[in-house]
């Protein structure tokens, strides 16, 4: 009886979700996407005579350049010129956080794939042929590929960082149980469908316009200006949209754009530089691999009393965003749990891999994987379900994070209990158990994965944005912000905001390209904060215009300002429709010489962080949720299939249900890929072995869970989020971590002797070995 009632609750919830999905706005790019009409860098019309460029890169991971012979390449018919660091008039420096990275190598190379020169030719094919004619003489130097080895040799990017709370040493004395262990999580290729690329064109007076597939137009502008030795106003950067970024274009879209601009500067002709997939895979950084050690202490009643963790981040050969990513690892080291005593340290280890960079989650997932491993280990050793330990330790209102922020509006328990009750976790566990009793060749495993993710750039000064709104005299609207559309649907959200404030049809609103001449000095579209930051600025700009228009209407209709509202493209007086339409109102405003353009600025209030104390309030709010993952392992082959992932996710009050569901599903599957099948491999000589799409496999329709159910948490939302609709870009990726532990649990059901290992991804090979280890 009770069960039936609850099942009907689940059905009601599901049909409510379906209803709101049907009513929710469609991504405004969907039509041009399916027709193949959406424009990417490679689709823009190029000037006649445009040159094409290919990067010449290091064929070894570490060495001293003794000599390079470009003569054969240069004399190939159709080759225009080859550029090296010697052609740089400004700084040969592209490091964002730390100035430690050359655009073109000078006398040393530090990773396989490091750019050395740019070959510019009439066609890309000729440039590629020329690349093969370059002879380079390099004296090889020792290569470091792992973080551990880097640490042993004292090779670091910067000083380590530590977040501490309470006193772990003392707390371990009070623990009933103490466990220690090691974990490894591998890198991950962003695998945006549109590879890195840019197109630079000369304008008059030595000005240059760059079209780039970048998440950070200002980063491109600033770095191009620095390398070319020009003021920033001479460089214009324009972005229509990206065919995916996933963090891989926050910093690492920059070098290709700067190279194209450098060649354009010298040749006074347009230059197009688009990496092919092979070059992109080899030359660009990925998610950071982490090697970590932990020590966890629990009380008799399974409270985590103390947690110590040391993260070794494999940063690659230069800093790139590694320091910021390392910081976010510390912010998320305790995931959704309250731990009173924490000692966490991260070392950014310098190796001879391509500089690793942002990838959805930005170091957070790497931190969370370790505490989930520690909990799994503790559960296995104590002989209880990991679910028990997870549940007992969930964050509560007013708990303190290791970084000093006090948790408010916490939804950790709410989402956990919603998921476990709505989806009947106990029943699911029983089903898994009885399946495992009846079957020997196949075993099922179930895991729970709660997530807590902080929203804001962890670097407080980056949390601001501006929006520029024009109302044209026919009543149509054009909007510019810093938001970069990369498939996440931010343009649709921007459009919704303007249409809502003005109460006009969405066909009246156009989202302009992201351009540094319209909106300047911007933070990249990242940290899941794009809609919040740009949306809040846009909301402000639209509201200012609305206030102005209401005055125009009140004067025209001779009534008080308070009585005026705008609804469905008409002016209303006290809820009574007038004949004054939106379009006529705009005409009247023009006649009255009222400004129909507004620019607004938004900076997230309340947030702050003191790096000298490693304490503060860095996040505007947190996003929560809980995933239940069920897998079936084929114990003869070591392969696995996911039966289901069932999630309750905290969207706040979603403003675009369809888009947000897409983000949650995409993030989940990307996280599962990281944990299970995507295997980056470098040789000990630093060569990328997984350098094609035949050796690097991401999830496809056959590997996604057979059933994905994502229900929204019932909540009132958060004022710091745009229209109370919480950021959704990154958090769902971390549900994918549950896949690792579900598989591990299935292995344990087959082989009780199996010693838990925390070495991701858990590929079928590793599963097979674990199934039969003695």
Map residue 75 onto helix, strand or coil. Answer: coil
Q: How many degrees, rounded to 5, is the angle at CA 713 between CA 501 and CA 669?
A: 95
Least Å distance, CB 240 to ligand MTE, is 14
Show the site string, 605-634: x = touches ligand MOS by CB under 6 A, - = not: ------------------------------
Least Å distance, CB 364 to ligand HPA, is 9
HEC string for 644-698: EEEEEECCECCCCHHHHHHHHHHHHHHHHHHHHCCCCCECCCCCECCCCCCCCCC
User: Which of residues 656 and 663 has its CB atom nearest to ligand MTE in the complex?
Assistant: 663
Q: Of 359, 401, 502, 609, which one interacts with ligand MOS (CB under 6 A)?
A: 359
**Which of ligand MTE, ligand MOS, ligand HPA, none binds 717 (CB below 5-8 Å, type-dependent)?**
none
Question: Is 88 a residue that touches ligand HPA (CB under 6 A)?
Answer: no
Residues 6+ apart with CB under 8 A from 313: 147, 288, 290, 322, 325, 326, 329, 346, 347, 348, 349, 356, 363, 366
Q: Of 531, 537, 542, 655, which one interacts with ligand MTE (CB under 6 A)?
A: 531
Question: Is 623 a residue that touches ligand MTE (CB under 6 A)?
Answer: no
Show the site string, 228-247: x = touches ligand MOS by CB under 6 A, - = not: -------------------x
Strand order in the sheet with 161-165: 161-165, 341-350, 304-316, 290-298, 177-185, 759-760
Beta bridge partner(s), residue 627: 449, 647
Q: Which burial class, exposed, middle or buried, applies to 73 when counting CB atoms under 10 A from its CB (0-12, 13-18, 19+)?
A: buried
Compute CA distances 99 → 92, 116, 243, 537, whole Å: 10, 18, 29, 31
Q: Measured between alpha carbons, how far is 675 from 740 in angstroms, rounded to an integer? A: 6
Stretch that binds ligand HPA, among 58-66, 321-329, 371-379, 648-656 (CB under 6 A): 321-329
Q: Of 210, 358, 395, 768, which one interacts with ligand MOS (CB under 6 A)?
A: 358
Nearest Cα to Cα of residue 673 among 767, 771, 762: 762
Which helix (H) or strand (E) segment holds residue 452: the answer is: strand 442-455
Using CB positions, name the residue nearest to ligand MOS.
247
**Which of ligand MOS, ligand HPA, ligand MTE, none binds 457 (CB below 5-8 Å, type-dependent)?**
ligand HPA
Least Å distance, CB 193 to ligand MTE, is 9
User: Which of residues 29 and 91 has its CB atom nearest to ligand MTE in the complex?
Assistant: 29
**Which of ligand HPA, ligand MOS, ligand MTE, none binds 244 (CB below 5-8 Å, type-dependent)?**
ligand MTE
Within 10 angstroms of residue 320's Cβ, the number of other Cβ atoms is 29
Question: Is 710 a residue that touches ligand MOS (CB under 6 A)?
Answer: no
User: Which of residues 255 and 524 has its CB atom nearest to ligand MTE in the complex?
Assistant: 524
Least Å distance, CB 533 to ligand MTE, is 8
Is the Cβ–Cβ distance between 151 and 349 less than 8 Å? yes
**Which of ligand HPA, ligand MTE, ligand MOS, none binds 80 (CB below 5-8 Å, type-dependent)?**
none
CA contacts within 13 A on the Cβ side of 492: 18
Map residue 324 onto helix, strand or coil. Answer: helix
User: Which of residues 534 and 745 has its CB atom nearest to ligand MOS in the complex?
Assistant: 534
HEC string for 508-573: HEEECCEECCCCCCCCCCCCCCHHHHHHHHHHHHHHHHHHHHHHHHHHHHCCCHHHEEEECCEEEE
Question: Is 528 a residue that touches ligand MTE (CB under 6 A)?
Answer: yes
Q: Measured between alpha carbons, how far is 131 from 72 in angstroms, rounded to an integer? A: 10
Q: Measured between alpha carbons, how far is 564 from 574 in angstroms, rounded to an integer? A: 6
User: Which of residues 117 and 669 has its CB atom nearest to ligand MOS in the complex?
Assistant: 669
Question: Within positions 210 to 249, which residues make up the interface with ligand MTE, using CB under 6 A?
Answer: 244-247
Show the site string, 232-271: x = touches ligand HPA by CB under 6 A, - = not: ------------------x---------------------
State yes or no: is 189 an active-site residue: no
Least Å distance, CB 457 to ligand MOS, is 8
Question: Is 250 a residue that touches ligand MOS (CB under 6 A)?
Answer: yes
Q: Measured between alpha carbons, how far is 323 from 581 in angstroms, rounded to an integer? A: 53
Q: Of 209, 295, 328, 536, which one interacts with ligand HPA (CB under 6 A)?
A: 328
Question: Is 526 a residue that touches ligand MOS (CB under 6 A)?
Answer: yes
Cα torsion 744, 747, 749, 752 to 10°: value is -100
Using CB positions, name the residue nearest to ligand HPA.
527
Question: Is 360 a residue that touches ligand MOS (CB under 6 A)?
Answer: yes
User: Which of residues 246 and 442 has its CB atom nearest to ligand MTE in the complex?
Assistant: 246
Out of 310, 381, 730, 765, the active site residue is 730
User: Which of residues 526 and 549 has its CB atom nearest to ligand MOS in the complex?
Assistant: 526
Buried (b) or exposed (e) across 616-647, using 16+ Cβ within 10 A? bbbbbbbbbbbbbbbbbbbbeebebebbbbbb
- Residue 28 is classified by DSSP as T
Q: Of 663, 691, 718, 725, which one interacts with ligand MTE (CB under 6 A)?
A: 663
Q: Measured between alpha carbons, how far is 533 from 518 in angstroms, rounded to an integer? A: 16
Q: Measured between alpha carbons, how far is 258 from 115 in angstroms, rounded to an integer? A: 12
In the numeric block, the tokens 């430690």 are attached to 100
Q: Which two tokens stand for residue 489?
A: 């649907």
Question: Within positions 714 to 743, which residues make up the interface with ligand MOS, using CB under 6 A?
Answer: 730
Question: Within positions 345 to 404, which residues make up the interface with ligand MTE, using CB under 6 A?
Answer: 360
Question: Within positions 432 to 461, which residues make up the interface with ligand HPA, using CB under 6 A?
Answer: 457-459
**Which of ligand MOS, ligand HPA, ligand MTE, none binds 179 (CB below 5-8 Å, type-dependent)?**
none
Least Å distance, CB 55 to ligand MOS, is 23
Question: Is 666 a residue that touches ligand MOS (CB under 6 A)?
Answer: no
How far from the centroid of its chain's Cα atoms is residue 751's Cα? 37
Least Å distance, CB 670 to ligand MTE, is 9
Is the Cβ–Cβ distance between 255 and 52 less than 8 Å? no
Count of residues touching ligand MOS (by CB under 6 A): 10
Strand order in the sheet with 442-455: 442-455, 621-634, 639-649, 707-712
Q: Measured between alpha carbons, how far is 100 from 292 in angstroms, rounded to an integer? A: 25
Q: Of 315, 356, 516, 530, which one interacts with ligand MTE (CB under 6 A)?
A: 530
Least Å distance, CB 284 to ligand HPA, is 16
Q: Of 147, 527, 631, 675, which one interacts with ligand MOS (CB under 6 A)?
A: 527
User: Which of residues 352 and 481 has its CB atom nearest to ligand MOS in the complex?
Assistant: 481
For the chain, how big is the Rg over CA atoms in Å?
A: 27
**Which of ligand HPA, ligand MTE, ligand MOS, none binds 657 (CB below 5-8 Å, type-dependent)?**
none
Question: Is 721 a residue that touches ligand MTE (CB under 6 A)?
Answer: no
Stretch that binds ligand MOS, among 102-110, 355-363, 387-395, 513-521 (CB under 6 A): 355-363
Is the Cβ–Cβ distance between 509 and 479 less than 8 Å? yes
User: What residue ranges bind ligand MTE (CB under 6 A)?
Assistant: 244-247, 360, 486-488, 490, 525-531, 663, 666, 727, 729-730
User: What residue ranges bind ligand HPA (CB under 6 A)?
Assistant: 250, 321, 324, 328, 358, 362, 457-459, 462, 526-527
Catalytic (active-site) positions: 730
């Amino acid at each position: 009886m009770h069960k039936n009632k609850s099942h009907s609750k689940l059905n009601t919830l599901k049909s409510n979700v379906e209803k709101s999905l049907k009513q929710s706005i469609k991504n405004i790019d969907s039509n041009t996407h399916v027709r193949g009409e959406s424009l990417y860098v490679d689709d823009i019309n190029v000037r006649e005579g445009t040159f094409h460029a290919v990067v010449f890169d290091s064929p070894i991971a570490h060495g001293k350049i003794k000599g390079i012979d470009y003569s054969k390449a240069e004399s190939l018919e159709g080759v225009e010129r080859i550029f090296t660091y010697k052609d740089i008039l400004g700084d040969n420096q592209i490091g964002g956080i730390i100035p430690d990275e050359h655009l073109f190598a000078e006398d040393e190379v530090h990773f396989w794939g490091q750019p050395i020169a740019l070959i510019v030719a009439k066609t890309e094919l000729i440039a590629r042929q020329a690349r093969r004619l370059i002879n380079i003489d390099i004296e090889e130097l020792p290569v470091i590929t792992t973080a551990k080895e880097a640490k042993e040799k004292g090779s670091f990017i910067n000083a380590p960082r530590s977040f501490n709370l309470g006193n772990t040493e003392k707390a371990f004395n009070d623990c009933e149980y103490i466990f220690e262990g090691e974990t490894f999580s591998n890198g991950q290729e962003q695998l945006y469908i549109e590879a890195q690329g840019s197109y630079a064109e000369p304008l008059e007076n030595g000005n240059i316009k760059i079209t780039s597939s970048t998440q950070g137009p200002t980063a491109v502008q600033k770095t191009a200006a620095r390398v070319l030795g020009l003021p920033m106003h001479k460089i214009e950067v324009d972005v229509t949209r990206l065919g995916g970024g996933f963090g891989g274009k926050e910093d690492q879209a920059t070098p290709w754009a700067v190279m194209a601009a450098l060649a354009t500067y010298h040749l006074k002709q347009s230059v197009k530089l688009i990496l092919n997939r092979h070059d992109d895979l080899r030359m660009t950084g990925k998610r950071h691999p982490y090697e970590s050690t932990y020590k966890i202490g629990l009380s008799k009643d399974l409270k985590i009393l103390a947690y110590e963790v040391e993260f070794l981040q494999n940063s690659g050969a230069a800093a790139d965003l590694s320091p910021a990513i390392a910081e976010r690892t510390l912010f998320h080291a305790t995931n959704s749990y309250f731990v009173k005593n924490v000692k966490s340290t991260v070392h950014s280890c310098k190796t001879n891999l391509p500089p690793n960079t942002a990838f959805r989650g930005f170091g957070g997932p790497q931190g969370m994987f370790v505490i989930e491993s520690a909990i799994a280990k503790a559960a296995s050793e104590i002989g209880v379900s990991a679910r028990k330990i997870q549940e007992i330790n969930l964050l509560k209102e007013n708990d303190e994070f290791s970084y000093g922020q006090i948790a408010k509006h916490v939804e950790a328990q709410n989402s956990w209990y919603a998921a476990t009750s709505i989806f009947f976790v106990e029943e699911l566990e029983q089903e898994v158990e009885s399946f495992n009793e009846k079957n020997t060749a196949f075993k099922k495993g179930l895991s729970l994965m709660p997530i807590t993710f902080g929203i804001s750039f962890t670097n407080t000064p980056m949390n601001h944005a501006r929006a520029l709104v024009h109302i044209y005299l026919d009543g149509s609207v054009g909007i510019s912000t810093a938001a970069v559309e990369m498939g996440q649907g931010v343009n649709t959200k921007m459009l919704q905001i303007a249409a809502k404030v003005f109460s006009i049809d969405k066909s009246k609103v156009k989202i302009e390209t992201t351009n540094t001449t319209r909106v300047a000095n911007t933070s990249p579209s990242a940290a899941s904060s794009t809609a919040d930051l740009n949306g809040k600025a846009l909301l402000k700009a639209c509201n200012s215009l609305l206030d102005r228009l209401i005055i125009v209407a009140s004067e025209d209709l001779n009534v008080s300002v308070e009585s005026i509202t705008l609804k469905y493209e008409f002016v209303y007086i006290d809820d009574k429709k007038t004949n004054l339409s939106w379009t006529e109102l705009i005409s009247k405003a023009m006649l009255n010489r009222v400004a129909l353009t507004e620019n607004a600025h938004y900076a997230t209030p309340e947030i702050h962080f003191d790096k000298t104390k490693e304490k503060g309030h860095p996040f505007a709010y947190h996003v929560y949720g809980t995933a239940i993952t069920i897998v079936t392992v084929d114990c003869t082959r070591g392969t696995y299939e996911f039966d289901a992932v069932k999630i309750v996710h905290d969207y706040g009050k979603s403003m675009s249900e369809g888009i947000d569901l897409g983000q949650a599903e995409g993030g989940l599957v990307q996280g599962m890929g990281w944990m299970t099948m995507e295997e980056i491999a470098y040789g000990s000589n630093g060569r990328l072995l997984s350098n094609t799409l035949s050796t690097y496999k991401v999830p496809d329709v056959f590997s996604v869970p057979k059933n994905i159910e994502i229900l929204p948490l019932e909540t009132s939302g958060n004022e710091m989020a745009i229209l109370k609709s919480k950021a959704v870009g990154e958090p769902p990726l971390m549900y994918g971590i549950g896949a690792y532990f579900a598989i591990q649990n299935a292995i344990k059901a087959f082989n009780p002797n199996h010693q838990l290992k925390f070495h991701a991804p858990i590929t079928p090979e590793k599963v097979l070995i674990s199934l039969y280890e003695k």
